[in-house]
C-alpha cells in the first residue's frame, strides 16, 4: 500500500429524493443514475439541479451498469440481477435470482463485457444487506464472483471471497477484478476470449486458501473497498468506504467463539464505518495513480464511484445524496 497521504479535494453534495444512493452510473447524455434504499432508480441532470424517480425495483438496488440493449443492469440485493427498462415502460426482467438452486442473498456489483457477458458479485451466502456488519464480524468468506453468459448460463468464477463487492473489467477485457472488502484488496482473474485462464484459484465457501500473487492486483488498500469501476480515463477507481478498523481486524484473526460473542453485541458496539470520504485509482498493473480524500462533514461513506471526463461521482449507502469531486489536473 502507498503510505503517502491522500490529496485533499473539494466535494460537492447533490441531494436526491431517497436515502442510501449506494452506486452511481453516468449515462451517454451525462445524466447520473443511482438507486436508493426504498427501491427507486433515480436520474440526476449533469448539473445536479434536478432529479427524477424513474422506476422502482421492489427491492434494494445497489450496483448499476448499462447493458448493450440500453437497459439498466441492476444488482438488487434483495431480488437478484435485474434488467430494468428506463424508457418509461417500467419493464423489469429477472436475469439471475438463484445460483445452484439457492436464492442469492446479497447481489452487489457488476461489470458488463462488450458482448453482454455479465460479471457480478454475491457478497455473502449467510447474510443479506440488512446484516452486512454481521458478515464482516463473522468473516464468513462466503462471497462469490459469478459470470452470466448471454445465453443465461451462470458460472461461479471465484468462491470463498471475503465479502465480494465491486467488480470491474480492464480496458481490453483481459482481466476481471473483484474487490474483497474484508481483506482490503482487489483480486484479479485473467481472461482469454472472455473466459478465465487455466490455473486461477476458485476456492471454496469459508476457505482460507490464499490466491497466488499474480491473482491479486492491489494487495492492500488504505481502507475497505466497496464498489469499483473503470473510469473514462481507463483507470480502476475504488470507493474506500472506511479506513481499517483494528477491532474488526482482531475479530477476523481471532477464534470463532470470539466472533460469535461479538455478533451478540448491541449494534452500537459493533465495528462501524468512520466518517470519511476517500477514493483511489489504479492502472491495470496495480500502480496507484490517484488517492483523493474530501471533508466528510456534510457527506460521507463513499460506496459507489464513477469517473467521467475528470469528474468523480460518488454514491453512499447511508446518505440522501450523491456527491462529486474533480480530479486534480
Over the stretch 76-100, which tens digit does the pLDDT of each residue have?
999 999 999 998 887 999 999 999 9
Q: How big, in percent rounded to 5, are the helix, strand and coil portions of the chain?
A: 10, 45, 45
Q: For position 194, what pLDDT does the model report?
A: 86
CB 93 within 8 A of CB 83: yes
- How much is the pTM? 0.94
Question: pLDDT tens-digit profile of 128-142?
Answer: 999 999 999 999 999
CB 57 within 8 A of CB 92: yes
Q: For position 36, what pLDDT does the model report?
A: 98
Find the DSSP H helices in 56-190: 132-138
Q: How many CB atoms lie within 10 A of CB 231?
A: 21
Q: For position 115, what pLDDT does the model report?
A: 96
Closest CA to 155 of 164, 144, 163: 144
What percent of the chain shows pLDDT beyond 70? Answer: 97
Order of strands, sheet of 288-293, starting from the edge strand that comes earlier in the sequence: 7-8, 288-293, 278-282, 236-242, 224-230
Q: Is the four-CA dihedral 214, 115, 232, 165 of positive or negative sign?
A: negative
Q: For position 209, what pLDDT does the model report?
A: 66
Give the mean model confidence (pLDDT) for residues 10-39: 97
Residues 6+ apart with CB under 8 A from 142: 124, 125, 126, 135, 160, 205, 206
Amino acid at each position: 500500500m502507498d503510505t503517502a497521504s491522500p490529496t485533499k479535494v473539494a466535494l460537492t453534495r447533490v441531494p436526491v429524493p431517497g436515502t442510501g444512493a449506494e452506486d452511481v452510473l453516468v449515462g451517454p447524455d451525462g445524466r447520473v443514475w443511482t438507486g436508493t434504499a426504498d427501491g427507486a432508480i433515480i436520474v440526476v441532470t449533469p448539473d445536479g439541479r434536478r432529479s427524477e424517480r424513474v422506476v422502482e425495483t421492489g427491492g434494494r438496488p445497489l450496483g448499476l451498469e448499462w447493458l448493450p440493449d440500453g437497459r439498466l443492469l441492476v444488482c438488487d440485493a434483495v431480488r437478484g440481477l435485474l434488467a430494468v427498462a428506463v424508457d418509461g415502460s417500467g419493464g423489469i426482467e429477472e436475469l439471475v435470482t438463484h445460483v445452484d438452486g439457492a436464492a442469492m442473498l446479497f447481489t452487489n456489483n457488476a461489470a458488463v463485457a462488450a458482448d453482454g457477458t455479465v460479471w457480478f458479485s454475491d457478497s455473502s451466502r449467510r447474510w443479506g444487506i440488512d446484516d452486512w456488519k454481521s458478515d464482516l464480524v463473522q468473516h464468513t468468506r462466503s462471497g462469490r464472483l459469478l459470470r452470466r453468459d448471454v445465453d443465461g448460463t451462470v458460472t461461479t468464477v471465484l468462491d470463498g471471497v471475503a465479502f465480494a463487492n465491486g467488480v470491474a473489467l480492464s480496458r481490453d477485457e483481459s482481466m476481471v477484478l473483484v474487490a474483497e472488502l474484508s481483506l482490503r484488496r482487489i483480486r484479479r482473474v485473467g481472461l482469454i476470449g472472455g473466459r478465465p485462464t487455466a490455473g486461477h484459484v476458485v476456492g471454496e465457501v469459508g476457505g482460507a486458501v490464499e490466491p497466488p500473487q499474480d491473482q491479486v492486483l492491489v494487495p492492500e488498500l488504505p481502507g475497505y473497498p466497496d464498489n469499483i469501476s473503470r473510469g473514462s480515463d481507463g483507470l480502476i477507481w475504488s470507493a474506500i468506504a472506511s479506513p481499517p478498523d483494528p477491532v474488526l481486524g482482531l475479530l477476523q484473526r481471532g477464534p470463532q467463539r470470539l466472533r460469535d460473542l461479538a455478533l451478540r453485541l448491541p449494534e452500537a458496539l459493533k465495528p462501524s464505518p468512520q466518517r470519511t470520504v476517500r477514493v483511489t485509482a489504479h492502472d491495470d498493473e496495480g500502480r496507484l495513480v490517484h488517492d483523493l480524500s474530501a471533508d466528510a462533514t456534510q457527506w460521507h461513506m463513499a460506496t459507489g464511484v464513477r469517473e467521467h471526463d475528470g469528474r468523480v461521482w460518488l454514491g453512499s449507502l447511508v446518505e440522501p445524496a450523491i456527491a462529486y469531486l474533480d480530479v486534480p489536473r
